[in-house]
Amino acid sequence: MSRVFNPQNSSRLLSEERKEWLPPKKILEACGLKEGDQFFDVGCGNGFFSLPAAEMVGSEGEVHGFDISSDMLEELSERRAESDHTNIYLHQVEAEGLPENRMPGLNGRADVLFFANILHEVEDPGEFFGSYLRLLEEESGRVVILDWRYDEMEPGPDLEERLKSGEIKAILKENDLEIIFSKILNKRFYMFVGVSA
């Protein structure tokens, strides 16, 4: 049974320690994010990646954050208000994924479709992931999955909630995505980048 992040722990996501494990700009650079891009942050939380991404894509680009939690979106909305960024748009979504008939107020498709520390929280990661793929810019878009490594460790989710690297690779392959980058970032996290095959 997967467990959704408790918004009462939201400050943990913005800790200095976390910035050392997951330096957001370095990670976003490794994903190929650049000025003018559309960055779609699925399970955006309080914006650990959304805010640095907004700076990197600049005024010509856009960041769209998707989350089920109104508390997390509210916190991100407050952080957006405190920042200079006017290019961040927030969308509250259903747990199962993006419904087929819904393309919420989007001007374009994702150059980078980003799933950081979320797939271990959803009931059916493959189906959930697949539902968002129609938001990807087909020709040149990149899909990123960053998550806890499958290893017994504190902190982080229980082992049975974590995805094995093989499961992540299978999800990408089942969706006709070719892996162009896969890396063990450190003891805790790995990251996979895919493009349309």
Ligand X SMILES: C[S@@+](CC[C@H](N)C(=O)[O-])C[C@H]1O[C@@H](n2cnc3c(N)ncnc32)[C@H](O)[C@@H]1O
The contact set with ligand X (CB under 6 A) reads 4-5, 13, 43-45, 48-49, 66-69, 72, 93, 95, 116-118, 121-122
Closest-by-Cβ residue to ligand X is: 45
Nearest approach in angstroms of CB 43 to ligand X is 3
Nearest approach in angstroms of CB 118 to ligand X is 4
Nearer to ligand X, 73 or 195 (CB): 73
Question: CA 129, CA 83: separation in Å to the nearest integer?
Answer: 30
Long-range CB contacts (within 8 A, 24+) of 147-155 = 147/115, 147/116, 147/117, 147/118, 147/119, 147/120, 147/189, 147/190, 148/117, 148/120, 148/188, 148/189, 149/184, 149/187, 149/188, 149/189, 149/190, 151/187, 153/187, 153/188
Nearest approach in angstroms of CB 136 to ligand X is 17
Nearer to ligand X, 15 or 140 (CB): 15
Question: CA 38, CA 109: separation in Å to the nearest integer?
Answer: 7
Nearest approach in angstroms of CB 72 to ligand X is 4
Nearer to ligand X, 59 or 88 (CB): 88
Nearer to ligand X, 37 or 121 (CB): 121
